[in-house]
Chain A
Amino acid sequence: MEQDVKLDVVDLSAWYGKKQALSGVSFPIRSGEVTAIIGPSGCGKSTLIRCLNRMHELVTDATVEGKVMLDGTDIYGRDLNPADIRRRIGMVFQKPNPFPNMSVRDNVVAGLRLGGVRDKKRLDEVAKTCLEQVHLWDEVKDELKKSGASLSGGQQQRLCIARALAVQPEVLLMDEPCSALDPIATAKIEELIISLKNELNYTIVIVTHNMQQAARVADRTAFMYLGKLIEFDETVTIFGNPKEQLTERYVTGKFG
């Protein structure tokens, strides 16, 4: 079944100073699907995902050209505020980064507080719902007042996902969310990604250097190499019957 395009990447290029990191990348990200971006280190996959919610431009001297259409509107449009874009397109990072001076609960609702929500009951409810959505509620319900940094690495990452979900973003970007985690914590995150898609119909983009992970969670996969998009297709095709030789050599482990 073809889904609507939620985010359309059109001829996107990005630079760090004079060094080009992305050149002319175009592909659609469909609503309610998980899209994976794979490729060897330095291929530009992290740069690409950071361009999707305007995080890239926070790096000194970083520039972008091209368009990213969110429901038909370019997020790089002149009258748009990057902070609003980031609220609509949430992000989870490689290293879990909870706010260490905030409690578990306050971490989850940090985004809502920013948005001006002050009602304590409402914040408690959202915290509970989001922690349930990331399957963390049962583990931390007695530790809501403890520091967000007191949890284990895997729990911290799920806390960060809950924090991103709390503002109800339309798209969730995940930049190698499991690279700092052990296999069990990784499996939990993967399970979570699939349940967020199936049960809550989230649109998710995940960057990963772990091909099995892409194969397990993604509906479609983009393969990047040296800043270019080499191939984009359904995940089964990318891993089973890729059209490009480069893709085949990468997914069969001949280089990487």
Chain B
Amino acid sequence: MAKTSWSDELFRYVVLAVASSAVVLFAIYLVELVEGSAPTIPEGWYFLYGSTFNINNLYGVYPEIWGSMVTSAIALAIGVPVSVGVAVFLSEVSPLRLRSTLSFFVEMLAAVPSVVYGLWGLIVLAPALSTKIYPVVGRYIGFIPIFSCPTTFAPCFYYGLSVMTAGLILALMIIPIVAAISRDALLAVPASQREAAYALGATKSEVIRMSVISYARQGIIAAVFLGFARAFGETMAVTFVIGNEGIVSTTLFKPGYTLASLIATEFSTASSGTEVSALVEAGLVLLLVSFTASFVGRLLIRRFIKTKESASLL
């Protein structure tokens, strides 16, 4: 065995301690959240299906879970196709020099603070959407329930601060991460896979479809899961634009609430121990869902890298 000096030993323990702090911190969060929500956990499943928060001391976050799910779904429905398009351009179409510049800007989008997205959403995006875009959408495809008019009186009023606006902001916010991971997955496709398609007489776009995207599928799905985790947990930007009302409505043009924005807006004014406990429990639900999505995403990335390696060892 190689001789190790005491400074090497020390260094090893220091980095080990730093690295394991991630695991320890996660465990601490979990314990704290469970402990903090101990007063309301015994209330049972009402928390998940009940739709009143702090009325008669009853706490249910069904509208918030619904809101988190729906806004994340909108974010994925719009953000994923755009991200995959960006990734395909970066890895397959763009000239080499443009690739690094564009990649840099896409990644910089991730560095924009979410409060900036929120302010921009509130001041610029929401008014523009509610007066110019949503009425048009409503007029043409309003017969589809999710795009229907949110008010019963005429003329119809489309809320700027709505589930839809929150979903759109989230779509913008997940594009950097989904595009970057998808791009890496596409770049990891071996040249031999592209050649296989070219040799069959495929054109460039056919090569991308039949060979490259198909091969990178798992990596792209992983990117989607990580994008979901990001959207589901995003707090600040959503709080600005969703309207913060705990209601469940079919149309996406009405205000809503998410678990994260509930915690952000209610916590400072929480008046009782039970309410604090309920908010902590909401945090627990949030953490568990985000963690699961992140975990599945990472797992898929790891499996993708593994199959990629075994394929190249053939």
Contacts and interface: CB of A to CB of B under 8 A. Distances in A.
Interface of A: 53, 55, 58, 60, 83-84, 86-87, 90-91, 93, 95-102, 110-111, 114-115, 149, 153, 156, 160, 163-164, 167, 180
B29 to A, nearest CB: 38
Given A60-B96, A110-B210, A114-B210, A91 B199 contact: yes
A60 B195 CA distance: 14
Contacts, number: 73
Given A101-B217, A102-B214, A160 B196 contact: yes
A227 to B, nearest CB: 22
A164 B307 contact: no
Given A58-B195, A114-B210, A160-B196, A83 B202 contact: yes
A97 B201 contact: no
24 contacts: A53-B199, A60-B96, A83-B198, A83-B201, A83-B203, A86-B200, A86-B201, A87-B201, A90-B199, A91-B199, A95-B314, A98-B196, A99-B193, A99-B196, A100-B215, A101-B217, A110-B210, A114-B201, A114-B206, A149-B311, A156-B314, A164-B200, A167-B200, A180-B314
B56 interface: no
Contact of A114 (B96, B202, B217, B312): B202
B192 interface: yes
B211 interface: yes
Nearest to A94: B192
A94 to B, nearest CB: 8
Contact of A99 (B203, B206, B215, B314): B215
Contacts of A167: 200-201
Nearest to B216: A101
Contacts of B311: 100, 149
Max chain A C-beta neighbours (<10 A), residue from B199, B201, B203? B199
In the A-B complex, the 9 residue pairs with the smallest Cβ-Cβ separation, listed nearest first, are: A87-B201, A111-B200, A91-B199, A97-B192, A97-B196, A101-B214, A86-B201, A83-B201, A83-B203
A60 B92 CA distance: 12
A98 to B, nearest CB: 8
A57 B217 CA distance: 27
A46 B307 CA distance: 27
Nearest to B200: A111
Given A93-B192, A95-B314, A102-B214, A111 B201 contact: yes
